[in-house]
């Protein structure tokens, strides 16, 4: 090894202290072994016999031809037996305590050799451990001496293939991040006028919406190194390790500036300080304090290093972390809208073989509330369905089954329903579907109805939104309640009794009605005041609670009556639809229109 490398692996106060301590321990052990060897006197066999006859020997240990013992004055001695036949009788005669062991050949010498070599082995092992710790990259685990080193994974520009074109949708988020990219590409453009670009960008959004992908896209667009680490990687059981890792991470990033540090799940380390007790909390707070100092502390750095963090719990972050100068720009990454879902599906559909009937727009319309990860999973499940059936291509039927599985659960083939249960379920779902057809202007178009059990649901009625809705009026909300109660009303009309199958419908109807009263000012009796609950406790009087309950009950009762009127007036259509469901189990909208003799509703598409 060259002198330069040796100096690299042995430099630093900590390593020098450790090596000095190991060297001192080795010297001490060698000294003890030397003293021990010098304390044992080697004598001839004839001298040994003379001392036995003179009653000077206290005890001996005989191993093969070797004799080791102790004189009565405490002196240790060793000798080699000369084959004297009367040795045993002589020892007994002079009452010398003796012990005989099996001959061990050269093992005794090997033991001493091991004791002599052990310090050298220990010294070499410690030096190798320090070399491994120093030799690891900033993202490696290293050895025990690299515990304070950053565990961030480093991606150089040549390895980052993502850019803004790789991120489907999220247009507003990408617009926000273009300023960061421009600053990293040309920092002098801003510093020449004294401007300071955000040092920290906080990506906020639910899991699966592409926060990490956006951060990598920023690095790809800026063509700069990307340091990726999770918030939990900073925390260790030893206090001070997290702060050391933060210092090391920023030091490495500044060496390669302009660069990006990405901290995923920052809420693991950035929670409110003083929210707990104990050593673990002290370690987290020290780590957070160091992060605050590195981003904008007493010692300011001019290096263009941008910190991008991601979380879905921005409410728990420490306020000092969100102040201007640190994470002063918050970029929301929402669930994709209809157009964004189409773009995301287009990316994932390229990876599988598709049939001619695939309609990406229809799939996007049927997946409101799906994240990017959910859509990727949907495409994968559809491909798995097609593979199980040994098809050459993935069809729309596979996507329908995949969506039902993701939303409701796997089809319950082992559930054996009686004919009476199937009949009740058929009328229940027919009631939902028929109300939807009777209120075409207020509700989304009907897509399909099925009585195939999935998860905990015995049947389901699907609607297909025509477009993204960002505002809902009172008439539409009342229509949703009427449709939710259609299943129970159908049971009442046909069987003159009720079942437990309408529980989830009641939950949905009650939630809508209560929001109308407490949140949206849609009740004349309660007025325009918002009435909230705080951790389960009502923030209003008992008298007002009674008025709210009465208003909610009034909405439910009126919608129940409206649903009953619609189904009573169209009883023949209800019977026909239920009979078709019992026969085919799953009906699509086109089939339902034909069975009931209703003119198909024209689906509206987004204006492009």
Closest CA to 265 of 290, 296, 229: 229
Q: Which of 360, 384, 406 is the last residue of a domain?
A: 406
Report if residue 607 sits inside a domain.
no
Residue 538 and residue 562 share a domain: yes
The reply to whether 398 and 424 lie within a common domain is no
Amino acid 85: pLDDT: 63
Domain boundary among 383, 406, 429: 406
Per residue in 533-567, pLDDT (tens digit) is 766 666 788 899 899 999 999 999 999 999 999 99
Least confident range of 365-369, 390-394, 486-490:
365-369
Residue 294 among the catalytic residues: no
Q: What's the pLDDT at 301?
A: 63
Does the residue 238 lie in any domain?
yes
Q: Is residue 84 part of a domain?
A: yes
Of 96-100, 155-159, 165-169, 200-204, the one with minimum mean pLDDT is 96-100
Residue 217, number of CB atoms within 10 A of its CB:
24
User: Would the pLDDT of 570 be above 90?
Assistant: yes
Per cent of the chain over pLDDT 70 is 79
pLDDT at 22: 65
Residue 434 lies in a domain: yes
Least confident of 194-198, 217-221, 255-259, 597-601: 194-198
Query: Lowest mean pLDDT: which of 64-68, 465-469, 546-550, 590-594?
Result: 64-68
Per the domain annotation, does 49 fall within a domain? yes
Q: What CATH number is associated with residue 380? A: 1.10.8.60
* pLDDT number for residue 495: 92
Its pTM stands at: 0.68
User: Count of CB atoms within 10 A of residue 535's CB?
Assistant: 4
Residues 123 and 183 both lie in one domain:
no
Instruction: Identify whether residues 39 and 119 lie together within a single domain.
Output: yes
**How many DSSP H helices and E strands does the chain contain?**
22, 16
Cβ–Cβ < 8 Å for 526, 548: yes
In the 3-class helix/strand/coil scheme, how is 66-103 assigned residue by residue? EEEEEECCCCEEEEECCCCCCHHHHHHHCCCEEEEECC
In a domain, 608, yes or no: no
pLDDT at res. 32: 56
More confident site: 409 or 385: 385
Instruction: Report the pLDDT value the prediction gives residue 480, as an integer from 0 to 100.
Output: 96
Nearest to 309 by CA among 158, 413, 164, 199: 199
Predicted local distance difference test score (pLDDT) of residue 147: 57
| Statement: residue 64 has pLDDT above 90 | no
Among residues 265, 283, 429, 492, the one annotated as catalytic is 429
Q: What digits encode the pLDDT tens for the residues 442-500?
A: 898 998 999 988 877 888 998 888 777 888 999 999 999 999 999 999 999 999 988 88
Q: Is 30 exposed, middle or buried (0-12, 13-18, 19+ CB in 10 A)?
A: middle
pLDDT over threshold 80, residue 196: no
The reported pLDDT for the residue numbered 189 is 81
Sign of the alpha-carbon dihedral angle for 397, 402, 404, 409: positive
- Give residue-wise pLDDT tens across range 336-365: 988 889 999 999 999 999 988 899 988 998
E strand intervals along 146-199: 153-155
pLDDT of residue 572: 94
Residue 103 has a pLDDT of: 57
Verify that 171 and 319 share a domain, yes or no.
yes
How many separate domains does the chain show? 4
* Same domain for 67 and 206: no
What per-residue confidence (pLDDT) applies to 470?
Answer: 81
pLDDT-derived band at 82 (thresholds 50, 70, 90) equals: low
CATH value at residue 568: 1.20.58.760
- Give the model's confidence band at 386: pLDDT under 50 very low, under 70 low, under 90 confident, else very high: very high
Does residue 148 fall inside a structural domain?
no
Are residue 400 and residue 478 in the same domain, yes or no? no
Whether residue 584 is contained in a domain is answered as yes
Q: Which pLDDT belongs to residue 592? A: 92
* pLDDT above 80 for 94: no
- Smallest Cα–Cα separation from 383: which of 342, 368, 391? 391
Q: What is the dihedral of CA 292, 298, 302, 307, to 10 degrees?
A: 0
Q: Return mean pLDDT, the chain.
A: 80
CATH classification of the domain holding 318: 3.40.50.300
Same domain as 304, residue 183: yes
Question: Within this chain, do residues 204 and 279 fall inside the same structural domain, yes or no?
Answer: yes
Final residue before a domain boundary, out of 359, 376, 406: 406
Whether 166 and 129 share a structural domain: no
Same domain, 455 and 362: no
pLDDT digits over 143-156, tens only?
444 555 767 788 88
* Range(s) of the domain holding residue 558: 419-596
For residues 448 and 546, state if they share a domain: yes
């Amino acid at each position: 090894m060259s002198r330069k490398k040796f100096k690299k692996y042995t430099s630093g106060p900590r390593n020098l202290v450790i090596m000095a301590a190991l060297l001192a321990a080795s010297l001490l052990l060698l000294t003890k072994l030397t003293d021990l060897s010098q304390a044992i006197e080697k004598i001839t066999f004839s001298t040994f016999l003379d001392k036995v006859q003179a009653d000077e020997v206290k005890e001996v240990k005989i191993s093969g031809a070797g004799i080791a013992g102790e004189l009565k004055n405490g002196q240790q001695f060793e000798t080699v037996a000369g084959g004297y036949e009367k040795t045993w009788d002589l020892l007994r005669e002079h009452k010398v305590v003796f012990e005989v062991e099996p001959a061990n050949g050269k093992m005794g010498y090997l033991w001493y050799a091991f004791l002599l070599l052990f310090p050298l082995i220990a010294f070499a092992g410690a030096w190798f451990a320090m070399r491994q710790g120093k030799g690891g990259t900033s993202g490696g685990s290293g050895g025990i001496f690299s515990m304070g080193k950053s565990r961030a994974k480093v991606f150089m520009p040549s390895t980052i293939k993502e850019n803004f074109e790789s991120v489907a949708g999220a247009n507003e988020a990408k617009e926000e991040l273009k300023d960061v990219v421009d600053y990293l590409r040309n920092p002098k453009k801003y510093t020449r006028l004294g401007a300071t670009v955000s040092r920290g960008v906080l990506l906020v959004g639910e899991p699966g919406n592409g926060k990490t992908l956006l951060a990598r896209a920023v690095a790809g667009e800026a063509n700069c190194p990307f340091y990726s680490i999770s918030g939990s990687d900073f925390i260790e059981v030893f206090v001070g390790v997290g702060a050391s890792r933060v210092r090391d991470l920023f030091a490495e990033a500044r060496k390669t500036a302009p660069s990006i540090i990405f901290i995923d799940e920052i809420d693991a380390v950035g929670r409110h300080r003083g929210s707990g007790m104990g050593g673990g909390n002290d370690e987290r707070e020290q780590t957070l304090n160091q992060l605050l100092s590195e981003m904008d502390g007493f010692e300011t750095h001019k290096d263009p290093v941008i910190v991008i963090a991601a979380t879905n719990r921005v409410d728990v972050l420490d306020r000092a972390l969100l102040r201007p100068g640190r994470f002063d720009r918050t970029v929301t990454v929402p669930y994709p809208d209809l157009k964004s879902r189409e773009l995301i599906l287009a990316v994932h559909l390229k990876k599988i073989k598709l049939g001619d009937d695939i309609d990406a727009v229809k799939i996007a319309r049927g997946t409101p509330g799906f994240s990017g990860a959910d859509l990727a999973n949907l495409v994968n499940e559809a491909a798995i369905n097609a593979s199980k059936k040994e098809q050459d291509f993935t069809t729309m039927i596979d996507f329908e089954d995949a969506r039902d599985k993701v939303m409701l659960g796997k089809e319950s083939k082992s559930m054996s329903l009686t004919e009476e249960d199937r009949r009740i379920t058929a009328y229940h779902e027919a009631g939902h579907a028929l109300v939807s057809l009777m209120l075409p202007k207020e509700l989304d178009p009907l897509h399909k109805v099925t009585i195939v059990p999935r998860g905990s649901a015995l049947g389901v009625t699907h609607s297909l939104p025509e477009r993204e809705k960002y505002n809902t009026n009172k008439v539409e909300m009342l229509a949703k309640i009427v449709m939710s109660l259609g299943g129970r009303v159908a049971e009442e009309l046909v069987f003159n009794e009720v079942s437990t199958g309408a529980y989830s419908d009641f939950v949905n109807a009650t939630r809508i009605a209560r929001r109308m009263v407490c949140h949206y000012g849609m009740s004349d009796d309660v007025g325009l005041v918002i009435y909230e609950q705080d951790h389960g406790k009502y923030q209003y009087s008992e008298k007002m609670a009674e008025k709210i309950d009465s208003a909610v009950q009034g909405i439910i009762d009126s919608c129940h009556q409206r649903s009953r009127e619609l189904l009573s007036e169209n009883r023949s259509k209800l019977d026909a639809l239920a009979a078709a469901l019992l026969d085919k189990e799953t009906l699509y909208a086109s089939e339902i229109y034909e069975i009931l003799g209703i003119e198909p509703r024209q689906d509206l598409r987004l204006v492009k």
